[in-house]
Structure 1
Amino acid sequence: MTEHEYVIFEVDSCKFAVSSALVDKVEQAVLISPVPDAPYPVLGVVNDGGTVVPVVGVRKKIGNDERDVLVSDRFLFTRFNERRIAILADEVNDVIEILPEVSQSADEIWPGVFYLKSFAGVGVDIILVQDLDSILNSEQEQSLAEALEQFAEQGEGSPDA
Protein backbone atom coordinates (compact mmCIF):
# COMPACT_ATOMS: atom_id res chain seq x y z
CA MET A 1 0.00 0.00 0.00
CA THR A 2 1.33 3.44 -0.94
CA GLU A 3 0.38 6.90 0.27
CA HIS A 4 -1.28 7.49 -3.11
CA GLU A 5 -3.71 4.53 -2.96
CA TYR A 6 -7.38 5.40 -2.62
CA VAL A 7 -10.62 3.45 -2.25
CA ILE A 8 -13.03 4.65 -4.94
CA PHE A 9 -16.74 4.73 -4.15
CA GLU A 10 -19.83 6.11 -5.87
CA VAL A 11 -22.80 8.08 -4.63
CA ASP A 12 -25.43 8.95 -7.26
CA SER A 13 -22.92 8.37 -10.10
CA CYS A 14 -20.42 10.79 -8.52
CA LYS A 15 -17.05 9.19 -7.79
CA PHE A 16 -15.31 9.84 -4.48
CA ALA A 17 -11.99 8.69 -3.05
CA VAL A 18 -10.76 8.05 0.49
CA SER A 19 -7.17 7.18 1.33
CA SER A 20 -6.95 3.40 1.57
CA ALA A 21 -4.83 3.80 4.71
CA LEU A 22 -7.92 5.21 6.48
CA VAL A 23 -10.37 2.47 5.44
CA ASP A 24 -10.74 -0.41 7.91
CA LYS A 25 -13.17 -2.46 5.86
CA VAL A 26 -16.09 -2.37 3.42
CA GLU A 27 -19.33 -4.11 4.36
CA GLN A 28 -22.81 -4.53 2.92
CA ALA A 29 -25.05 -1.78 4.28
CA VAL A 30 -27.66 -2.62 6.88
CA LEU A 31 -30.56 -0.72 8.37
CA ILE A 32 -29.45 2.55 9.98
CA SER A 33 -30.88 3.41 13.41
CA PRO A 34 -31.79 7.10 13.63
CA VAL A 35 -30.15 9.25 16.31
CA PRO A 36 -32.29 12.21 17.40
CA ASP A 37 -30.49 15.56 17.16
CA ALA A 38 -27.54 14.14 15.19
CA PRO A 39 -26.14 16.78 12.82
CA TYR A 40 -26.07 16.38 9.07
CA PRO A 41 -24.23 14.59 7.46
CA VAL A 42 -24.79 11.92 10.16
CA LEU A 43 -27.68 9.71 9.03
CA GLY A 44 -27.79 7.55 12.16
CA VAL A 45 -25.81 4.65 13.58
CA VAL A 46 -25.15 0.96 12.95
CA ASN A 47 -23.95 -1.82 15.22
CA ASP A 48 -20.59 -3.17 14.07
CA GLY A 49 -19.64 -6.10 16.27
CA GLY A 50 -21.13 -4.51 19.39
CA THR A 51 -19.78 -1.03 18.66
CA VAL A 52 -22.12 1.83 17.76
CA VAL A 53 -20.74 3.54 14.64
CA PRO A 54 -22.14 6.79 13.16
CA VAL A 55 -23.06 6.60 9.47
CA VAL A 56 -22.23 9.61 7.30
CA GLY A 57 -23.95 10.45 4.01
CA VAL A 58 -22.63 12.73 1.27
CA ARG A 59 -25.66 12.99 -1.04
CA LYS A 60 -26.71 16.47 0.14
CA LYS A 61 -23.13 17.68 -0.29
CA ILE A 62 -23.48 17.04 -4.03
CA GLY A 63 -26.95 18.58 -4.22
CA ASN A 64 -29.10 15.44 -3.97
CA ASP A 65 -31.59 14.25 -1.36
CA GLU A 66 -30.69 11.45 1.03
CA ARG A 67 -32.58 8.21 0.45
CA ASP A 68 -33.27 4.98 2.29
CA VAL A 69 -30.53 2.36 2.41
CA LEU A 70 -30.68 -0.24 -0.36
CA VAL A 71 -29.52 -3.86 -0.13
CA SER A 72 -26.87 -3.08 -2.76
CA ASP A 73 -25.35 -0.18 -0.74
CA ARG A 74 -22.03 -0.44 1.08
CA PHE A 75 -20.45 1.04 4.21
CA LEU A 76 -16.81 2.15 4.21
CA PHE A 77 -15.65 1.91 7.81
CA THR A 78 -13.00 4.53 8.46
CA ARG A 79 -11.79 7.07 11.04
CA PHE A 80 -12.56 10.75 11.47
CA ASN A 81 -10.66 12.64 14.21
CA GLU A 82 -10.23 9.50 16.35
CA ARG A 83 -13.90 8.51 15.89
CA ARG A 84 -14.82 5.47 13.83
CA ILE A 85 -17.43 6.26 11.16
CA ALA A 86 -19.08 4.49 8.23
CA ILE A 87 -19.60 6.30 4.93
CA LEU A 88 -22.72 5.23 3.02
CA ALA A 89 -21.94 4.48 -0.64
CA ASP A 90 -23.98 3.16 -3.54
CA GLU A 91 -21.02 1.00 -4.50
CA VAL A 92 -17.33 0.60 -3.83
CA ASN A 93 -15.41 0.20 -7.07
CA ASP A 94 -11.72 -0.33 -6.57
CA VAL A 95 -8.46 0.69 -4.98
CA ILE A 96 -6.43 2.86 -7.35
CA GLU A 97 -3.34 5.03 -7.29
CA ILE A 98 -3.98 8.78 -7.59
CA LEU A 99 -0.75 10.66 -8.12
CA PRO A 100 -0.38 14.33 -7.15
CA GLU A 101 0.24 15.32 -10.77
CA VAL A 102 -3.32 14.31 -11.75
CA SER A 103 -4.87 16.13 -8.78
CA GLN A 104 -5.84 19.74 -8.29
CA SER A 105 -6.51 21.33 -4.92
CA ALA A 106 -10.21 21.64 -4.13
CA ASP A 107 -9.66 25.28 -3.10
CA GLU A 108 -8.38 26.10 -6.59
CA ILE A 109 -11.52 24.71 -8.24
CA TRP A 110 -14.18 25.27 -5.60
CA PRO A 111 -13.02 27.87 -3.06
CA GLY A 112 -14.48 27.38 0.40
CA VAL A 113 -15.45 23.73 -0.01
CA PHE A 114 -14.43 22.12 3.27
CA TYR A 115 -15.02 18.40 2.84
CA LEU A 116 -12.88 17.83 -0.26
CA LYS A 117 -9.10 17.67 -0.42
CA SER A 118 -8.73 17.64 -4.20
CA PHE A 119 -10.18 16.78 -7.57
CA ALA A 120 -8.39 14.12 -9.60
CA GLY A 121 -8.65 13.32 -13.29
CA VAL A 122 -8.37 9.55 -13.74
CA GLY A 123 -9.11 8.34 -17.26
CA VAL A 124 -12.36 10.02 -18.25
CA ASP A 125 -13.51 10.34 -14.63
CA ILE A 126 -13.29 13.22 -12.19
CA ILE A 127 -12.85 11.86 -8.67
CA LEU A 128 -13.61 13.93 -5.58
CA VAL A 129 -10.96 13.14 -2.96
CA GLN A 130 -12.52 13.36 0.50
CA ASP A 131 -10.92 15.24 3.39
CA LEU A 132 -12.14 13.09 6.29
CA ASP A 133 -10.65 15.47 8.86
CA SER A 134 -13.20 18.08 7.82
CA ILE A 135 -16.26 15.99 7.01
CA LEU A 136 -17.78 17.50 10.18
CA ASN A 137 -16.94 20.92 11.54
CA SER A 138 -16.22 21.33 15.27
CA GLU A 139 -19.80 22.36 16.05
CA GLN A 140 -21.20 19.31 14.22
CA GLU A 141 -18.67 17.06 15.94
CA GLN A 142 -19.74 18.37 19.37
CA SER A 143 -23.41 17.97 18.43
CA LEU A 144 -22.71 14.38 17.33
CA ALA A 145 -20.93 13.57 20.60
CA GLU A 146 -23.91 14.90 22.58
CA ALA A 147 -26.46 13.05 20.41
CA LEU A 148 -24.52 9.78 20.76
CA GLU A 149 -24.29 10.23 24.53
CA GLN A 150 -28.07 10.71 24.74
CA PHE A 151 -28.52 7.70 22.45
CA ALA A 152 -26.35 5.57 24.78
CA GLU A 153 -28.26 6.79 27.85
CA GLN A 154 -31.48 5.57 26.26
CA GLY A 155 -30.01 2.07 26.30
CA GLU A 156 -29.28 1.87 22.59
CA GLY A 157 -25.57 1.08 23.00
CA SER A 158 -22.34 2.79 23.80
CA PRO A 159 -20.81 5.14 21.26
CA ASP A 160 -17.31 4.54 19.95
CA ALA A 161 -15.36 7.69 20.71
Structure 2
Amino acid sequence: MNEHDYVVFKVDSCKFAVSSSLVDKVELAVSLSPVPDAPYPVLGVVSDGGTIVPVVGVRRKIGNEERDVILSDRLLFSRLGNRKIAILADEVNDVIEIPPGMSQQSNQIWPGVFYLKSFAGMGEDIILVQDLNSILNSEQEKTLSEALEAFVKQGEIDTDD
Protein backbone atom coordinates (compact mmCIF):
# COMPACT_ATOMS: atom_id res chain seq x y z
CA MET A 1 0.00 0.00 0.00
CA ASN A 2 1.14 3.53 -0.63
CA GLU A 3 0.44 6.94 0.89
CA HIS A 4 -2.45 7.52 -1.52
CA ASP A 5 -4.34 4.34 -0.54
CA TYR A 6 -7.55 4.81 1.42
CA VAL A 7 -9.99 2.44 3.11
CA VAL A 8 -13.50 3.31 1.91
CA PHE A 9 -16.44 2.83 4.24
CA LYS A 10 -20.11 3.66 4.09
CA VAL A 11 -22.41 5.27 6.65
CA ASP A 12 -25.99 5.44 5.41
CA SER A 13 -25.68 6.73 1.84
CA CYS A 14 -22.37 8.58 2.37
CA LYS A 15 -18.99 7.15 1.44
CA PHE A 16 -16.03 8.08 3.60
CA ALA A 17 -12.35 7.22 3.44
CA VAL A 18 -9.41 7.17 5.83
CA SER A 19 -5.78 6.70 4.95
CA SER A 20 -4.97 3.00 4.90
CA SER A 21 -1.83 3.76 6.90
CA LEU A 22 -4.07 4.78 9.83
CA VAL A 23 -6.26 1.64 9.81
CA ASP A 24 -4.94 -1.21 11.95
CA LYS A 25 -7.74 -3.65 11.16
CA VAL A 26 -11.43 -4.01 10.32
CA GLU A 27 -13.65 -6.25 12.45
CA LEU A 28 -17.31 -7.15 12.67
CA ALA A 29 -19.05 -4.81 15.09
CA VAL A 30 -20.02 -6.05 18.52
CA SER A 31 -22.28 -4.65 21.18
CA LEU A 32 -20.99 -1.35 22.56
CA SER A 33 -20.71 -0.58 26.26
CA PRO A 34 -22.04 2.94 26.87
CA VAL A 35 -19.74 5.35 28.70
CA PRO A 36 -21.52 7.92 30.88
CA ASP A 37 -20.50 11.50 30.10
CA ALA A 38 -18.58 10.54 26.94
CA PRO A 39 -18.72 13.34 24.36
CA TYR A 40 -20.45 12.95 21.03
CA PRO A 41 -19.33 11.42 18.66
CA VAL A 42 -18.25 8.62 21.04
CA LEU A 43 -21.02 6.02 21.01
CA GLY A 44 -19.49 3.65 23.54
CA VAL A 45 -16.50 1.36 23.92
CA VAL A 46 -15.38 -2.15 23.02
CA SER A 47 -12.55 -4.26 24.35
CA ASP A 48 -9.82 -5.14 21.88
CA GLY A 49 -7.16 -7.43 23.26
CA GLY A 50 -7.76 -6.06 26.76
CA THR A 51 -7.61 -2.43 25.62
CA ILE A 52 -10.71 -0.28 26.02
CA VAL A 53 -11.36 1.33 22.64
CA PRO A 54 -13.78 4.25 22.17
CA VAL A 55 -16.11 3.80 19.19
CA VAL A 56 -16.78 6.93 17.15
CA GLY A 57 -19.87 7.45 15.02
CA VAL A 58 -20.29 9.96 12.20
CA ARG A 59 -24.05 9.67 11.56
CA ARG A 60 -25.03 12.81 13.44
CA LYS A 61 -22.19 14.72 11.81
CA ILE A 62 -23.89 14.14 8.45
CA GLY A 63 -27.31 15.06 9.83
CA ASN A 64 -28.67 11.54 10.31
CA GLU A 65 -30.07 9.81 13.39
CA GLU A 66 -27.92 7.33 15.28
CA ARG A 67 -29.13 3.75 15.24
CA ASP A 68 -28.32 0.59 17.13
CA VAL A 69 -25.37 -1.51 16.03
CA ILE A 70 -26.40 -4.38 13.76
CA LEU A 71 -24.61 -7.63 12.93
CA SER A 72 -23.40 -6.47 9.52
CA ASP A 73 -21.74 -3.27 10.84
CA ARG A 74 -17.97 -2.97 10.90
CA LEU A 75 -15.42 -1.34 13.19
CA LEU A 76 -12.34 0.29 11.66
CA PHE A 77 -9.64 0.26 14.33
CA SER A 78 -7.20 3.14 14.13
CA ARG A 79 -5.05 5.48 16.21
CA LEU A 80 -5.86 9.01 17.27
CA GLY A 81 -2.60 10.28 18.72
CA ASN A 82 -1.82 7.96 21.63
CA ARG A 83 -5.36 6.63 21.76
CA LYS A 84 -6.74 3.64 19.90
CA ILE A 85 -10.19 4.34 18.41
CA ALA A 86 -12.70 2.53 16.24
CA ILE A 87 -15.05 4.07 13.68
CA LEU A 88 -18.49 2.50 13.31
CA ALA A 89 -19.38 1.88 9.66
CA ASP A 90 -22.31 0.23 7.91
CA GLU A 91 -19.90 -1.48 5.54
CA VAL A 92 -16.29 -1.34 4.45
CA ASN A 93 -16.00 -1.35 0.69
CA ASP A 94 -12.36 -1.66 -0.26
CA VAL A 95 -9.01 0.06 -0.53
CA ILE A 96 -8.69 2.58 -3.33
CA GLU A 97 -6.00 4.92 -4.53
CA ILE A 98 -6.82 8.63 -4.51
CA PRO A 99 -4.02 10.35 -6.44
CA PRO A 100 -3.09 13.86 -5.22
CA GLY A 101 -4.80 15.64 -8.12
CA MET A 102 -8.08 13.75 -7.64
CA SER A 103 -9.09 15.33 -4.32
CA GLN A 104 -10.01 18.83 -3.23
CA GLN A 105 -9.62 20.32 0.23
CA SER A 106 -12.97 20.27 2.01
CA ASN A 107 -12.54 23.71 3.60
CA GLN A 108 -12.80 25.18 0.11
CA ILE A 109 -16.34 23.82 -0.18
CA TRP A 110 -17.49 23.41 3.44
CA PRO A 111 -15.74 25.98 5.65
CA GLY A 112 -15.82 24.97 9.31
CA VAL A 113 -16.26 21.24 8.70
CA PHE A 114 -13.07 20.25 10.49
CA TYR A 115 -13.43 16.46 10.55
CA LEU A 116 -13.18 16.24 6.76
CA LYS A 117 -9.77 16.56 5.14
CA SER A 118 -10.83 16.53 1.51
CA PHE A 119 -13.22 14.96 -0.93
CA ALA A 120 -12.74 13.12 -4.18
CA GLY A 121 -14.96 12.32 -7.11
CA MET A 122 -14.50 8.67 -8.02
CA GLY A 123 -16.75 7.68 -10.90
CA GLU A 124 -20.29 8.49 -9.79
CA ASP A 125 -19.32 8.60 -6.11
CA ILE A 126 -18.15 11.45 -3.93
CA ILE A 127 -15.87 10.16 -1.21
CA LEU A 128 -15.38 12.26 1.92
CA VAL A 129 -11.86 11.82 3.31
CA GLN A 130 -11.87 11.88 7.12
CA ASP A 131 -9.29 13.80 9.13
CA LEU A 132 -8.98 11.49 12.14
CA ASN A 133 -6.95 14.08 14.04
CA SER A 134 -9.99 16.39 13.94
CA ILE A 135 -12.75 13.89 14.66
CA LEU A 136 -12.54 14.95 18.33
CA ASN A 137 -11.64 18.49 19.31
CA SER A 138 -9.40 19.14 22.33
CA GLU A 139 -12.36 19.68 24.67
CA GLN A 140 -13.99 16.41 23.54
CA GLU A 141 -10.67 14.59 23.93
CA LYS A 142 -10.33 15.88 27.51
CA THR A 143 -13.94 14.96 28.34
CA LEU A 144 -13.41 11.49 26.84
CA SER A 145 -10.27 10.91 28.92
CA GLU A 146 -12.14 11.85 32.10
CA ALA A 147 -15.17 9.71 31.19
CA LEU A 148 -12.99 6.69 30.36
CA GLU A 149 -11.04 7.03 33.60
CA ALA A 150 -14.29 7.01 35.61
CA PHE A 151 -15.62 4.14 33.49
CA VAL A 152 -12.55 1.97 34.11
CA LYS A 153 -12.69 2.66 37.86
CA GLN A 154 -16.29 1.44 37.91
CA GLY A 155 -15.23 -1.81 36.19
CA GLU A 156 -18.08 -1.59 33.67
CA ILE A 157 -16.37 -3.60 30.92
CA ASP A 158 -14.62 -6.94 30.81
CA THR A 159 -11.17 -6.36 29.31
CA ASP A 160 -10.27 -10.05 29.26
CA ASP A 161 -10.74 -11.19 25.66
Deviation string 1:15-37 (CA, Å, 9 cap, x unpaired) is 00000000000000000000000
Matches within 5 A, 1:89-108: 89-108=89-108
| CA distances 1:32-83 after superposition (whole Å, capped 9, x unpaired) | 0000000000001001121110000000010001100000000000011221
TM-score, with structure 1 as normaliser: 0.96
- Given that residues 33 and 157 in structure 2 are in contact (C-alpha distance below 8 angstroms), is that contact kept between their aligned partners in structure 1? no
SS in 1 for 2:113: coil
Pairs within 5 Å for 1:54-69? 54-69=54-69
Do structure 1's residue 12 and structure 2's residue 25 form an aligned pair? no
What TM-score comes out, normalization by structure 2 length? 0.96
SS at match of 1:70: coil
Equivalences for residues 79-98 of structure 1 within 5 A: 79-98=79-98
The structural deviation recorded for 1:145 is 0.1
The aligned residue for residue 121 of structure 2 is 121
Corresponding residue for 1:47?
A: 47
Distance in 2, matches of 1:116 and 1:148, equals: 25
- List alignment gaps of at least 5 residues for structure 2: none
Is residue 152 from structure 1 mapped to residue 149 from structure 2 by the alignment? no
User: How far has the Cα of 1:100 moved from its partner?
Assistant: 1.5
Amino acid at match of 1:144: L
Aligned equivalents of 1:135, 1:99: Cα separation in 2 = 23
What is the rounded CA distance, in whole Å, between the counterparts of 1:27 and 1:158 in structure 2? Answer: 18
Is the CA contact 1:7–1:96 (under 8 Å) kept in the aligned structure 2? yes
Do the aligned residues in 1 keep the contact of 2:26 with 2:75 (CA within 8 Å)? yes
Match of 1:109 in 2: 109
2-structure distance, mates of 1:147, 1:155 = 13
- Name the SS for the 1:65 alignment partner: coil
Q: Secondary structure at the match of 2:119?
A: strand
Count of residue pairs the alignment pairs up: 159
Q: Percent identity?
A: 75
- The answer on 1:35 being equivalent to 2:71 is no
Which consecutive segments of 4 or more residues in structure 1 shift more than 4 A? Answer: none
Residue number in structure 2 paired with 1:21: 21
